[in-house]
Amino acid sequence: MPFFTNSNNSKRPLTAAVIGTGFSGICAAIKLEKELGIKAQVFELWSDVAGTWFANRYPGAECDIPSHLYSFSFEQNPDWSKNYSSQPEIYAYLQGVARKYHLYDRIKFETKIVRAEWKEQQQQWCLVWRNTNDHQQTASAYFDVVVSGVGALRIPNIPKEFSGFEGPIVHTTFWDSNLDYTNKRIAVIGSGASAVQVIPELQKVASHVYSYQRTPAWVLPRDQYLYSRTWKFIFRYVPFVLRFYRLLIFIRHELTFVNFGYHKLLGKVVKKKFIQGMVARLTAAGRADLISSVVPDYPVGCKRITKSEHYLEALAKANVTVTRSGIEEIRGRTLLDKDGNETEVDILVLATGFHVNDMNGNLKIYGRNGVLLQKVWDKENSKSYKSVTVHGFPNFFLLLGPSSGLGHNSIVTVIEVQTDYTIQCVKRLVKNDLAAIEPKKAAQEEFVANVQKGFEGTVWKAGCRSWYMNDKGEIYTLWNGPITTFWWALRQPVFKDFIEYKKNALAESK
């Protein structure tokens, strides 16, 4: 196990805390132990592992990246049942990984980190947490390193204008499985991935579904299929085939970035093909009248592309009504849209996504000199260095933080790249007997400027609004290129871009 030497020349073990047990937290906890021998203390808000894939249990919840790519490269699963896995199967996969690496023994479940503060004198992070069932049950501890794996898809966006609805209100992230949706009139607000997945399921049981979507989504049919017992056998006993298959999927998805990055050259061609596909499906379903309502007019990829072979067909059913007008007012259980139409419903389903640009939520993170991270990001946008570290916050490592999101490939690959970068930084602490490191302000500003410059000419700057953007219309959520360029940028830390702390004294920057 790595040791630090303190001012009294005595050694103590290096300690680490990991917040969250989704793909990010599990990856970090495993690699900290595997690479450095550090058994991190792990904190989880929910009662089990899997993060987003534990919380999001709405009907139809599935991944839009193929299963063999949406998994750890070091824990490939030969037994995926189908090309695109459902929430229960991904949840079970993450449970299995956590058990294999004995993570359950050091996870504090149903625990909310409410405060993380860098203590200058101790040169450690003080974490304060409380039990989610008993708020009087609180505790705290000090750690040398903190890895945040809370992710961006965590804080649900619940618009205040819907709070006046007098019937049941259900957000897809907090799905109420005890509620009976059978033969009910259900309004679904939103047109993103969760709406695309949940509407076909609700359509099967509801008396009527009202789909409110101010901006429709580009919908691409999935190439969904089951894996036979023969293929599972080959994947399990011929590992090379499994690795090669995963590589082929990765390359295929990586090549789709061409549309995103070279939108001005290929955008019209791609858009034409998408329109043809959606028009053909609606026409085949006998609802050509829906074409003007549900086929977008913005560039393909400007908002996240959704995948479903059932969504458009569900919208075409007799018990589904599509409304492009926003909600003006709510009177009891009646929704009044901006066109003056009144619709009475029994259940309101919010498929309104997440507060992506406020991923920390109620978690207060205080860096050097008591500076609050949320205030820094509110004032200067969500800036980071190499998407992992932040100036003013020593030994604090973000996974899936600013500048790390994708629109074309597996985010799990990004997580592994970021985790490897974090491990190299922690190794630097041990090797050079450092108390802490943090990126220099100038290096962070240069990195952010280069990322922002890289968005010029891409589809994300093509004019539409999306959750990729903040309130100012700036993109701090995404990486501006393919994953290969992300890996190249993070393959090895440039330590001249860091400030180094050693034995309670800030090292001179050279």
> Is the pLDDT reported for residue 210 higher than 50?
yes
- pLDDT tens for each residue of 13-50: 899 999 999 999 999 999 999 999 999 999 999 999 99
Measuring CA to CA, which residue among 14, 51, 21 is closest to residue 35? Answer: 14
Measure the N-to-C terminal CA separation of the chain; round to a whole number of Å: 31
Q: Are domains 11-49+103-155+355-506 and 160-217+256-350 of this chain identical in fold? A: yes
CB 409 within 8 A of CB 401: no
**Which of 458, 463, 462 has the alpha carbon at shortest distance from 482?**
458
- For residue 365, the cross-strand partners are 116
Residue type, 443: A
Which residue from 353, 372, 376 is spatially nearest to 363, judged by alpha carbons? 372
506 confidence band (pLDDT: 50, 70, 90): very low
Dihedral of CA 237/243/248/249: which sign?
positive
What stretch of H or E contains 490? helix 483-490
Rounded Cα distance, 281 and 283, in Å: 5
User: What does the alpha-carbon distance between residue 56 and residue 36 come to, in Å, rounded to a whole number?
Assistant: 33
Q: Which CATH number fits domain 160-217+256-350: 3.30.230.70, 3.50.50.60, 1.10.260.40, 2.40.128.110?
A: 3.50.50.60
Q: Write down the pLDDT at residue 466.
A: 81
* Per-residue pLDDT, 244: 98
pTM: 0.95
Tokens found for residue 139: 């505790």
pLDDT at 469: 83
Report pLDDT digits (tens) over 213-247.
999 999 999 999 999 999 999 999 999 999 999 99
Least confident residue range of 119-133, 244-258, 271-285, 372-386: 372-386
> Helix H segments across 43-86?
52-55
Q: How confident is the model at residue 157 (pLDDT cuts 50, 70, 90)?
A: confident
User: Tokens in use for 19?
Assistant: 């917040």
**According to the model, what pLDDT value does residue 468 have?**
84
The residue extents of the domains of the chain are 11-49+103-155+355-506, 160-217+256-350
CATH numeric code, 11-49+103-155+355-506: 3.50.50.60
Does 509 score more than 50 pLDDT?
Answer: no
- In tens, the pLDDT along 293-352 reads 999 999 999 989 999 999 999 999 999 999 999 899 999 999 999 999 999 999 999 999
pLDDT above 90 covers what percent of the chain?
82
Q: Which two tokens stand for residue 344?
A: 């009475």
